[in-house]
């Protein structure tokens, strides 16, 4: 008989135990959502970082948000192999490349070539906003994957 997991329990309720820090993190998240970048692009970035970081709650949230925002489920299924598909624009590819590089810093530093490709697709302000957004989702992912402060069912 196969055991089916029906819910992932909270490990540490960091949001309730350190509400001042939760408030600050939510303020940073709110700021990262007030950008000139397309909402769909940002959900792809958030979903991809969440996949790499292994945050189940965040993957679930951002893929659902992407679908709710009108993205194609087929693209979301292909997100881990985006380089091998025709489903993503050059702008999305540059954002995903930067997301992967920033998320995998322990493997290699972000290269000048990666930054140059992103700079070729985004204005300076957009690039700054993208870098901030990737930074914020990586922080959420580490929090979510470690403490699991939000139940997933």
**CATH code that applies to domain 38-146:** 1.20.1290.10
Q: Smallest Cα–Cα separation from 122: which of 95, 88, 96?
A: 95
Q: Which residue has the tokens 């940073």?
A: 28
Domain ranges of the chain: 38-146
Rounding to the nearest 10 degrees, give the CA dihedral for residues 56, 57, 61, 63.
0
**DSSP, residue by residue, 52-96:** HHT-HHHHHHHHHHHHHTT--HHHHHHGGGGGG-S-S-HHHHHHH
User: Which phi and psi angles does 44 have, rounded to 5°?
Assistant: -60, -45
State pLDDT tens for residues 56-102.
999 999 999 999 999 999 999 999 999 999 999 999 999 999 999 99
Pair of tokens at residue 23: 């408030």
Q: What pTM did the predictor assign?
A: 0.92
Alpha carbons 73 and 111: distance in angstroms, whole number: 31
Alpha carbons 146 and 148: distance in angstroms, whole number: 6
State pLDDT tens for residues 28-55.
999 999 999 999 999 999 999 999 999 9
């Amino acid at each position: 008989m196969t055991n089916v997991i029906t819910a992932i329990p909270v490990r540490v309720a960091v949001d309730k135990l350190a509400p001042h820090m939760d408030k600050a993190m939510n303020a940073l998240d709110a700021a990262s959502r007030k950008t000139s970048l397309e909402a769909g692009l940002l959900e792809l970035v958030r979903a991809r970082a969440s996949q790499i970081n292994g945050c189940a709650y965040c993957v679930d949230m951002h893929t659902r948000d992407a679908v709710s925002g009108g993205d194609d489920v087929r693209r979301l299924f292909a997100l881990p192999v985006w380089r091998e598909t025709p489903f993503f624009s050059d702008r999305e590819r540059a954002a995903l490349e930067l997301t992967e590089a920033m998320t995998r810093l322990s493997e290699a530093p972000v290269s000048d070539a990666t930054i140059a490709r992103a700079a070729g697709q985004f204005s300076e302000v957009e690039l700054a906003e993208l870098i901030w957004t990737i930074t914020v989702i990586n922080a959420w992912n580490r929090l979510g994957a470690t403490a699991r402060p939000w139940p997933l069912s």
